[in-house]
Structure 1
Amino acid sequence: MKIDLSGKTAIVTGSTSGIGLAIAKGLAGTGATVVVNGRSEAGVGAAIVSIPKGVPFAKVSGVAADVSAASDRANLVEAVPSADILINNPTIFEPNDFFDTSDEDWSRFFDTNVMSAARLSRAYLKGMLERNWGRIVFVSSEADLNIPTEMIQYAASKTAQLAMSRGLAELTKGTAVTVDSMSPGPTLPEGIETFVKELAKQNGRLEEEAAALLVKRHRSTQLIQRFPLV
C-alpha cells in the first residue's frame, strides 16, 4: 500500500535515534515534511543529515528542545506552530528499586514521558480538529500493561500515556482526526546497548547471551525473545 502524506507536516519528538528516528525516516518516505526533535543541536543535526541518505527526496528540518521542560516545549511550538501529525515519543527509562525511587525521580519520569505529550497534544490537537484532519500517536511500551517490577516508575508513566491517548481519542469522535497508542517491546538503542554491554562484562558473558538472558528474565511475554534493532 502506498501512503502519500505530501503536504502534511509531521513532528516526531525524541527522534534523533531509535524508534523515533525510524518513524521520522518512515514518514519522510511518504512525502511528509518531517520535523526532527531532540535535546541537543548535535543530535538533531546528525538526524537531519542521516534521513536523506535513506530517503533522497526527504523534506526534513529540526528543532532542538527538551520537551520535558515547559519553556523548551514553547520554543518548539513557536518554531512549528501547526502540525498535521504528532508523534509523542520522548522516553526515559532506567531500572530502579521501588523503595529507593525518590519523588524527584517520579517527577522526572512523568515530566518526560507524560507531560511532554500532554503539552504538545494540547498545542496541536485543537488545530487538527479545526482543519478536520490529523494524527497523534503515543509511543508507549508493552510495560504499560506488562508491568516490570524493576521499572515501576517507567511503567506507570507508560500506562498514563495509554490513558491519555484513549481520552484524547474520545475527543475526536465524528472527525477525521485520530489518536492512537502503540506499545512496542524492548529495542536496542544506544542506552540499552550500553546497559547490555555492562551486564555482559559483569557476568562474564557474550553480549548476545546477556541480551537474551535479560529478555528471558524481564520480558518473558515477548514473542520473539530478543531485542529487535531499529
Structure 2
Amino acid sequence: MKIDLSGKLALVTGSAAGIGLAIAKGLAGTGATVIVNSRREGSVREAEAAVREAVPGAQVQGFVGDLANAAGCDALVKAYPQVDILVNNLGIFAQEDFFAISDSEWLRFFETNVMSGVRLSRAYAGAMVKAGWGRIVFISSESGLNIPADMIQYGMTKTAQLSVARGLAKRLAGTGVTVNSVLPGPTLSEGVEAMLKDEVARTGKPVEEVAAAFVQQHRASSIIRRAASVEEVANMVVYACSQQASATTGAALRVDGGVVDTIA
C-alpha cells in the first residue's frame, strides 16, 4: 500500500515532540504539507527541523500558539483558514489522586484535551465538507476505556474525545469527511520517559526495559508486554488520514498493544 497525500495540508496539534512529532513526520513522508504546533517558538523551530531531517524535502510549516484556549485556536484558524487533515493530538496527562484534583485542574484538562479538538474541528470541518474530502483524527487513549485510578481526570477527557469523534462522524455522514479516534496504549514518548526517569536512574536499566516492566505491572492485560513506539502509533494515524481509509469513520482505532481486554 502506497499512501500519497501530496497536495494535502495537514495540521497536527501539540506536535513538537512524542506522538505528535512522529505523526508529523509520517504525514510529511506521504507528501503532505504539515503544520507543526507548540506554545514555544523554539520547540516549533526544532520540530520543523526534525521533520525535515526525517523527510528530506518535506514541506513543513509551524504555528506558535497555545491551543488550550479559544484565543489560541482563533489565531491558528486566522493564520490557516483551511486544512485538509486535522489531527487533534494536543494533550496533557498527570498522575494525581482524585481527592487532590482541584476544579481548576479538571477544567484545565478538559480545555486542553477536549475543547482544543472541538474548536478546531468546528472551524475546519465546514470547508472539508465543501471540498468533499477531509480527515479529522482525535488522539484518544486506551485510558478512555480503561480509566486509570490515578489519572481519572485524564481518562475522562479521553472518553469525551471518543464521544465527540463518534458524534461528529455521524454529523458529517455522506460528506466524504471521515472522523476517527486513535487509541494508543502505553507509548514510549518523551513524557513517559520523563515519568520513568527516576526508576531508570535507580536501576541503571535501559528505558525500554523499565517501560516494559511498568507495562507488565500497571497494564497487565497488555498482549505485546511492552510500550509501543511513537512511530507505531503514528502509522495508524497516517493510515486513518489516507485516501485508502475512506470507509473507516466513526471508529476507535486501537494501538494499545491489546491492553483493553475486548474482542470488539
Q: TM-score range by the shorter chain?
A: over 0.9
Aligned equivalent of 1:98:
98
Q: Which amino acid aligns with 1:95?
A: Q
3-state SS, counterpart of residue 222 of structure 1: coil
Aligned equivalent of 1:125:
125
State the distance in 2 between where 1:40 and 1:224 align.
35
Instruction: Answer 1 or 2: higher relative contact order, Cα 8 Å, separation at least 6.
Output: 2
Output the TM-score relative to the length of structure 2. Answer: 0.83
Q: Which runs of 5+ in 2 are unaligned?
A: 231-264
3-state SS, counterpart of residue 151 of structure 2: helix
Are 1:226 and 2:252 counterparts? no
Q: Decide whether the 8 Å contact of 2:137 with 2:181 is kept in 1.
A: yes
The 5 Å alignment of 1:4-19 reads 4-19=4-19
Residue 72 of structure 1: how far off its partner (Å): 1.1
The 5 Å alignment of 1:190-229 reads 190-201=190-201, 206=205, 208=207, 210-229=210-229
1:63-108 per-residue CA deviation (whole Å, 9 max, x = no partner) reads 0111001111111111111000000001100101011111111111
Q: Decide whether the 8 Å contact of 1:110 with 1:157 is kept in 2.
A: yes
Residue 11 of structure 1: how far off its partner (Å): 0.3
Residue 204 of structure 1: how far off its partner (Å): 5.0
Count of matched residue pairs: 229
Identity of aligned residues (%): 55
Q: Which amino acid aligns with 1:52?
A: R
Q: Which amino acid aligns with 2:185?
A: G
State the distance in 2 between where 1:42 and 1:229 align.
25
Q: Which runs of 5+ in 1 are unaligned?
A: none
Aligned equivalent of 1:40:
40
Q: Decide whether the 8 Å contact of 1:90 with 1:113 is kept in 2.
A: yes
Q: Which amino acid aligns with 1:182?
A: V
Residue 144 of structure 1: how far off its partner (Å): 0.8
Worse-matched range after superposition: 70-79 or 150-159: 70-79
Aligned equivalent of 2:154:
154
Q: Decide whether the 8 Å contact of 2:144 with 2:156 is kept in 1.
A: yes
3-state SS, counterpart of residue 183 of structure 1: strand
Q: Which amino acid aligns with 1:87?
A: V
Q: Decide whether the 8 Å contact of 1:28 with 1:55 is kept in 2.
A: yes
What is the RMSD computed on CA atoms of the aligned residues?
1.4
State the distance in 2 between where 1:205 and 1:212 align.
14
Worse-matched range after superposition: 145-154 or 183-192: 183-192
State the distance in 1 between where 2:203 and 2:34 align.
43
Aligned equivalent of 1:72:
72
State the distance in 2 between where 1:113 and 1:20 align.
13
Q: Decide whether the 8 Å contact of 1:196 with 1:207 is kept in 2.
A: no
State the distance in 2 between where 1:207 and 1:229 align.
15
Aligned equivalent of 2:249:
none
State the distance in 2 between where 1:79 and 1:18 align.
24
1:133-190 per-residue CA deviation (whole Å, 9 max, x = no partner) reads 1000001001110111111110000000000000000012112110000101121222
Q: Decide whether the 8 Å contact of 1:197 with 1:207 is kept in 2.
A: no
State the distance in 2 between where 1:50 and 1:206 align.
27
- Inter-CA distance 204–56: structure 2 relative to 1 (3 Å threshold): closer
Q: Decide whether the 8 Å contact of 1:212 with 1:226 is kept in 2.
A: yes
Worse-matched range after superposition: 115-124 or 206-215: 206-215
State the distance in 2 between where 1:175 and 1:6 align.
21
Aligned equivalent of 2:27:
27
